[in-house]
Chains A and B, each alone.
Chain A
Amino acid sequence: MSKPTSGGDIVLAGVTKRFVTPTGQAMTAIRDVNLKIGAGKFCAIVGPTGCGKSTTLTLTSGLDTPSAGTVHVGGRQVDGITPGVGFVFQHDALLPWKPVIANVALGPQLRGASKTEARAQAREWLATVGLSGFEEHYPHQLSGGMRKRVQLAATLINNPSLLMMDEPFSALDVQTRAIMTNELMRLWEQSRPSVMFVTHDLEEAIAIADQVVVMTVGPATVKDVFEIDLPRPRGQIQDIRFDARFLELYKMIWTSLREEVERSYAMAAARKAGDK
């Protein structure tokens, strides 16, 4: 594995993104998002479904450009794919025609590693995510959770200094999820990339992050930012849930988040009523 890299800081200033919907109307996904994430910090993002969390990550990674506002990573304005970025997508993004090993080896190969070198690295990473012996399987021959782990390996193998994770563990069962989270924390401590981690699981967010961002209902903007001052290393995330400070933070953030979730449901209900 290559040398540890530490990520730059992430600064979103007045970021707005509008999409043109299939019906031809403009819709605002996020509006005026201002967010600062320190270099090497772990930032969890929570918010009601459909509010614009994935969009925020897409803009930070440079896959798409904001309609207004700017994104800076490590002092450089994002323009095209941000260097050193890794992205674990919310939806399956493995190439279905490549066996698992080739999928994981793709990253290093695209960055100029020889095929044997890339495969050796890929084998190590598959072992890390507990999938040794599945090298020659095709993605469709794996379970959803296994595919997610391959995805993780395929991203982390590039040793990203900036890591976008969009609900990476949502397809995993509770036990695997705990193992993967602990593994992720271990890897993060080693190379300290700056991380944006979207999740619907507030416990998970608080247990792993330095900072939890609550977003409003769509078009989303940043509602609250909570610094998580639990000391590191935090140990097993299963245990920290009973920490007094953890519970305190949980209550605070949940109060903030619940409002938005409830508004989101109210809006959905109103839309439904309007449709009738």
Chain B
Amino acid sequence: MSGAQEIDVAKLARMRAARYRKLVLAGRVGTLVFIVGAWQLLTDYKIIDPFFAGSPLGIIERLADWFTHGTAYGSFWYQIWVTMEESLLGFFAGVTAGVFFGVLLGEIPLLSDILTPYIKVVNALPRIVLGSIFVIWLGLGLPSKVMLAAVLVFFVVFFNAYQGVKSVDRNLVNHARILGASRLEVVWHVVVPSATSWIIASLHVALGFSIIGAIVGEFLGAQHGLGLVIATAQNNFDTDGVFGAMLIIGIIAISAEGLMAMAEKRLLAWRPARASENEAGGI
């Protein structure tokens, strides 16, 4: 009696879910079309000033021009590459240092008690201004941007790694100790894996920060990169150019986010369901 009914119910639910997904997709496309269309029309009819607001077609033209003819400081692809390189290097340097010091201070309370006030002070500073120092110290090239990105990333990852270490289940630590684990082995087999979900939660914010660090670093002084492209467009009152570069940065950020979601899925395969870790943030 119920077999056929159950199949019907399951089928119905699936159909309903599929229909809902289509509706959401249509809504999204519609929203995009509406905003872009309205933007284009409003600027076409000069209801809003295209000089200030730019326009979708203008942005596309500007990007096409950049991609085909390059910018004043080399091909557009190269500018994209430079910014990505700076962000990635900064990201990895910041994450490595953040995890290392987070675990170190989490494991050695004396050290963390000594350093806590200093870390708080540095954390309270608007770290973005460090960019100026780094440009003075390290010059207009890649290192100053990498450094700024790394510093921004470091604090986010550091605080989360530290929290993660602090919230390790003592029972698991005891279990490993009984099995014969040394202090370092406890850190490797228990503390780091258990802090991983905390660390990974911070990586999303950190990734955004690494891009911010690179771009701001380029604003402050650079010879290449998307930040420089934006700064130049700004000086020329080239609104389309600013929006165009922004669009590219957005695409980079979203792709990186996608890659990270994949990595996260692999690293946290053991977890039953998504847990919501807190994210420490702030520039």
Contact = CB atoms under 8 A, between A and B. Distances in A.
A94 B194 CA distance: 12
A81 interface: yes
Interface stretch (A106-114, A203-211, A228-236, A249-257): A106-114
Interface stretch (B127-135, B175-183, B216-224): B175-183
Interface string B86-116: 0000000000000000000000000000000
Contacts of B185: 110
Interface stretch (A42-50, A84-92, A183-191, A215-223): A84-92
Contact of B272 (A111, A140, A158): A140
B178 A95 contact: no
A117 B181 CA distance: 18
B174 interface: yes
Report, as a range, how many residues of chain B touch the other chain.
Answer: 10 to 19
B189 interface: yes
A154 interface: yes
Contacts of A107: 179-180
A87 B171 contact: no
B171 A92 contact: yes
A149 B268 CA distance: 24
A140 B190 CA distance: 16
Contacts of A91: 171
Contacts of A86: 178
B172 interface: yes
Nearest to B269: A138
Given A93-B171, A95-B172, A140-B272, A81 B178 contact: yes
A155 B270 CA distance: 22
A95 B181 CA distance: 13
B179 A158 contact: yes
A156 to B, nearest CB: 11
A158 B176 CA distance: 12
B43 interface: no
Given A89-B171, A138-B270, A97 B178 contact: no
B193 interface: yes
Interface residues of A, number: 26
Q: Interface on chain B toward A: helix, strand, loop, or mixed SS?
A: helix
A93 B171 CA distance: 6
Nearest to B186: A110
A63 B190 contact: no
Nearest to A82: B178
A99 B271 CA distance: 11
* Most chain A CB atoms below 10 A, which of B179, B193, B196, B271: B179
Contacts of B172: 93, 95
A84 B272 CA distance: 34
Contacts of B174: 63, 87, 89, 93
A96 interface: yes
Interface in A91-127: 91-99, 106-107, 110-111
Contact of B178 (A63, A99, A140): A63
Interface of A: 61, 63, 81, 85-87, 89, 91-99, 106-107, 110-111, 138, 140-141, 154-155, 158
23 contacts: A63-B177, A81-B180, A86-B178, A87-B175, A87-B178, A89-B175, A93-B171, A95-B172, A95-B176, A95-B189, A97-B194, A97-B196, A99-B270, A106-B179, A106-B189, A107-B180, A110-B189, A111-B180, A138-B270, A140-B271, A155-B178, A158-B179, A158-B180
